[in-house]
């Protein structure tokens, strides 16, 4: 079993079990990695209203030997994450040119496996079932994902539409999104995928959905994500990767799990819908036949 690899991963894994004071320190550490990496312990503590000893206890609660080890981890995380995509791509290209393809594959696979194990070990089944039930009961479900999340949301919607006719992907442009949001009510659900860098359109859509009384389900990558303040049901999923962009591997596992649970709830009616879709696809000649 792989251990969490960054401060953010460790906080995501341990947050619910921390005391109130440790949660205050953890929120600060997650939201201000540069401060953790560059400022003294006394200075960081003064900014939060909790004692330096609280941050030292947080470090040990997260599995570090002491605060200095957590701080060093923070420095490495900042160096890796704060750089623009272009700089990360440059570093990746140089590193990859010095490694064999098997090494590159191993590093990528190891990161993805760690993310998936974190998801598997820390997902709350009751929270997952509650979110799935909302999606099952909804009058309509709007799917929103922009920038790097757009294609992943398209795939999620494609799977659901085999047996859910009331799901619609709307986040790609404002022309389609605005009228869809204007029709939301308390029987509707907005499902959003929000990964850093966070798309302004996604956060604004979640805010509008909550104001309209709709239920919101969010998958994001950090407990400091701006999407969480507008979520009824939320899942923080690790995205660590040696790539220049975030990994969606664990997110896909969660989405495919949600589809499986929805299918089980829909029962034989879903099977009939899928069978009818298959017949229509054959009639249209969409599949290549050798």
Confidence of residue 215 (pLDDT cuts 50, 70, 90): very high
**Domain stop point among 26, 56, 82:** 82
Average pLDDT of the residues in 208-237: 93
Average pLDDT of the residues in 166-175: 81
pLDDT per position as a tens digit, 70-102:
888 877 666 655 566 777 677 777 777 777 788
Same domain, 136 and 264: yes
Q: Is residue 96 part of a domain?
A: no
Q: Is residue 103 part of a domain?
A: no
Q: For the domain that residue 222 is a member of, what is the CATH number?
A: 3.40.50.10490
Q: Is residue 90 part of a domain?
A: no
Same domain, 182 and 272: yes
pLDDT score, position 81: 58
Indicate the number of domains in the chain.
2
pLDDT score, position 4: 52
Q: Is residue 279 part of a domain?
A: yes
Which has the closest alpha carbon to 52: 38, 36, 74, 64? Answer: 36
Give the domain extent around 146.
Answer: 122-284
Query: Phi and psi dihedrals of 165, rounded to 5?
Result: -80, -5
Q: For the domain that residue 32 is a member of, what is the CATH number?
A: 1.10.10.10
Confidence of residue 271 (pLDDT cuts 50, 70, 90): very high
Measured between alpha carbons, how far apart are the two ends of the chain, in Å?
44
Query: To the nearest whole number, what is the mean pLDDT of the chain?
Result: 88
Residue partners of 197: CB distance under 8 A and separation at least 6: 147
pLDDT per position as a tens digit, 29-68:
888 877 887 788 988 898 888 999 999 999 999 999 899 8
Same domain, 58 and 182: no
Same domain, 220 and 78: no
Per-residue tokens: 192? 């959003």
Same domain, 272 and 151: yes
pLDDT score, position 78: 64
Same domain, 75 and 140: no
| H or E stretch at 168 | strand 167-169
Confidence of residue 216 (pLDDT cuts 50, 70, 90): very high
Same domain, 75 and 174: no
Confidence of residue 141 (pLDDT cuts 50, 70, 90): very high
Same domain, 135 and 2: no
Q: Is residue 89 part of a domain?
A: no
Q: Is residue 88 part of a domain?
A: no
pLDDT score, position 2: 46
Note the pTM of the prediction, 2 decimals. 0.74
Same domain, 189 and 256: yes
**Domain stop point among 82, 110, 139:** 82
Edge to edge, the sheet with strand 189-194 lists 167-169, 141-145, 189-194, 215-220, 233-236
């Amino acid at each position: 079993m792989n251990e969490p690899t960054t401060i953010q991963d460790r906080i995501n894994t341990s947050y619910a079990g921390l005391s109130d004071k440790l949660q205050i320190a953890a929120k600060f550490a997650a939201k201000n990695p540069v401060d953790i990496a560059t400022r003294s312990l006394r200075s960081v503590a003064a900014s939060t209203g909790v004692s330096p000893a609280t941050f030292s206890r947080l470090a040990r609660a997260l599995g570090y030997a002491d605060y200095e080890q957590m701080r060093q981890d923070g420095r490495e995380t900042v160096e890796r994450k704060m750089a623009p995509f272009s700089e990360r791509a440059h570093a990746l290209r140089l590193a990859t040119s010095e490694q064999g393809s098997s090494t590159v594959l191993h590093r990528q696979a190891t990161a993805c496996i760690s993310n998936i194990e974190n998801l598997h070990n820390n997902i709350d089944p009751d929270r997952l079932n509650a979110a799935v039930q909302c999606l099952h009961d909804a009058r309509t479900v709007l799917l929103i994902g922009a920038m790097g999340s757009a294609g992943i949301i398209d795939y999620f919607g494609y799977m659901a539409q085999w047996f859910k006719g009331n799901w619609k992907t709307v986040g790609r442009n404002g022309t389609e999104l605005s009228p869809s949001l204007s029709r939301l009510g308390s029987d509707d659900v907005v499902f959003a995928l929000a990964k850093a860098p966070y798309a302004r359109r996604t956060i604004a859509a979640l805010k509008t959905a909550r104001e309209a009384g709709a239920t919101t389900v969010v998958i994001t990558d950090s407990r400091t994500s701006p999407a969480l303040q507008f979520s009824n049901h939320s899942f923080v999923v690790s995205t660590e990767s040696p790539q220049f962009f975030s990994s969606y591997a664990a997110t896909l596992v969660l989405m495919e799990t949600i589809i499986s649970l929805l299918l089980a709830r829909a029962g034989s009616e879903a099977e009939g819908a899928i069978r009818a879709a298959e017949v229509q696809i054959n009639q249209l000649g969409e599949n290549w036949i050798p």
